[in-house]
Homo-oligomer: A and B are copies of this chain.
Amino acid sequence: MSTGADQGMNPYTGQPVGPPVPHATPEEVDRLATAAAAAAPALAALPLTERADLLRAVAAALETAREELVAIADSETGLGTTRLGGELTRTRVQLEMFADVVAEGSFHEAIIDHPDPNALPAPRPDLRRALIPIGPVAVFSASNFPFAFSVAGGDTASALAAGCPVVVKAHSGHPGLSVRTGQVVAAALADAPAGTFAVLHGNGAGKALVANPAIKAAGFTGSLGGGRALFDIAGSRPDPIPFYGELGSLNPAVITPGAIAARGSDVLTGFVGSFTMGAGQFCTKPGLLFLPKGHGLDDGLAAAVAQAPIGPLLNARIRKGYDEVAAALSKVNGVRAVVPPSDEAKEGFRVGPILLAVAATDLVARADELLEECFGPAALIIEYGSADELTTALDALPGALTATVHADPDTEGDLMRALLDRFADKAGRVIFDGWPTGVAVTWAMHHGGPWPATTNALHTSVGATGIRRWLRPVTYQNVPDAFLPDVLREANPLGIPRRVDGTLVV
């Protein structure tokens, strides 16, 4: 395990910012995980209203510290105070939504089957099932959303909502913000059981955390390589634990001839805005744009890209990766540059945008070289000459978080239906006539998808149903009413939705 420290770097200047934050020692990792395990029963036993109040207290504390946190965040990520302010709002709203989800109570999935003396093949007893907290959760922060997918982000909010203590492994890209956010959250949780929440630093510490016997599940947002390594540790434990990783996604978008005819310039500006947003560092960035051959949009696209305000990348490692992947993609046989790589030297971690194009037949022939995620303001246009070429190219794509269709429903119904079906099979979210960046925090949101988008296509890291990751069922058989948890007592003292003898009762 490293005995180093995380040093924040200012992306605008490339210079250090704030003091170094030391990595946790193996002893500290074990101490925090053990404390989380000690907190678990008391946290799980809190009434739902008190658990919801804890989430609201964290939300309010973030709001109170807004100005300070946004300033630190901008100095360490270069994402700009406007975007970061919006992200803090989203993070607060997310905590408040989970408070509502907790109070509503149907996340318990309570089910009651009364005894049935006539059941086949044998009389059945009284059976009552509810979801309960799985235990301490390790949360791995992402670099690109220093609020919404970091210390107080969606994984932390949903795990606390589930009644699980959380140990966050901070991202090395914003160590100062992680420390300060951790203090704000910890203060807001002062009345929660000791051990409910902690933050630690260091990649070695993170690996030790996933391997620690006290940890019962983990959530991760980050790279395919980093996520796979932690997934493998979680799976090779003597007692494997669920590891929910959101890894990488190319987020294909298909534009049909009808969409170009109907609203070509809207499509063009929408696409450029989406793939350059946040300097192209969204996991939902549309990295692949399928256009009909002869689309005639090259000049318009180049002009729109030239207009796009693009901030610096998050850190030196991402900048290096961007330069390498962009250069490699540019050199693949058959690739032409609509917006070529820039040679101009830039301050800090700034880079120039890149827009490349290739024939659909070439994509299929060189899928291994071309289907690599390029984190940053780069995208690849794939030009198809026929519906068959399009279909064959789509079949070559890996799983994705999102997939987008722009078509004319009136004149291209069959094609549109076929694309939606194909994308439902490949992606977690299928978008019509819009763009995938911007992930609303709602009941119906699904932010997940088949590998390599995530390690587990059954679950989401955004939205109300993300809480399901941190819950496991337990069934009580013939337990007297006075000894049942409130959620399963006959009189339904919590007034929550339940399924009783097969029928949902709300």
Contacts and interface: CB of A to CB of B under 8 A. Distances in A.
A171 interface: no
A246 to B, nearest CB: 14
Contacts of A465: 109, 111, 129, 473
A201 to B, nearest CB: 28
Interface stretch (A68-76, A357-365, A431-439): A431-439
Contacts of A502: 100, 104, 443
B477 A432 contact: yes
A240 B455 CA distance: 7
A134 interface: yes
B240 A499 contact: no
A475 B409 contact: no
Interface residues of A, number: 88
A440 interface: yes
A444 interface: yes
Nearest to A405: B479
B497 A473 contact: no
Interface in A218-258: 231-232, 235-236, 239-240, 242
Nearest to A407: B483
A120 interface: yes
B41 A421 contact: yes
B113 A242 contact: no
Interface string A125-165: 10111001010000000000000000000000000000000
Q: A425, A468, A505: which has the most chain B beta carbons within 10 Å?
A: A425
Contacts of A473: 428, 446, 448, 458, 460, 465
A440 to B, nearest CB: 4
A480 interface: yes
Nearest to A429: B475
Contact of A121 (B86, B399, B444): B86
A204 B447 CA distance: 36
A127 to B, nearest CB: 4
Contacts of A416: 483
A380 B80 CA distance: 65
Interface of A: 41, 86-87, 89-90, 93, 100, 104, 106, 109, 111-113, 119-122, 124-125, 127-129, 132, 134, 231-232, 235-236, 239-240, 242, 399, 409, 413, 416-417, 420-421, 424-425, 427-434, 438, 440, 442-446, 448, 450-452, 455-458, 460, 463, 465, 468-469, 471-480, 482-483, 497, 499, 501-506
Given A122-B438, A128-B444, 11 more contacts: A235-B240, A240-B455, A409-B480, A413-B483, A424-B474, A428-B475, A430-B475, A430-B477, A443-B501, A444-B475, A457-B472
Closest 9 CB pairs of A and B: A446-B475, A124-B440, A127-B444, A239-B451, A111-B444, A89-B121, A235-B235, A129-B444, A113-B444
10 contacts: A87-B121, A113-B445, A127-B440, A134-B458, A231-B235, A239-B451, A430-B475, A432-B480, A434-B478, A448-B472
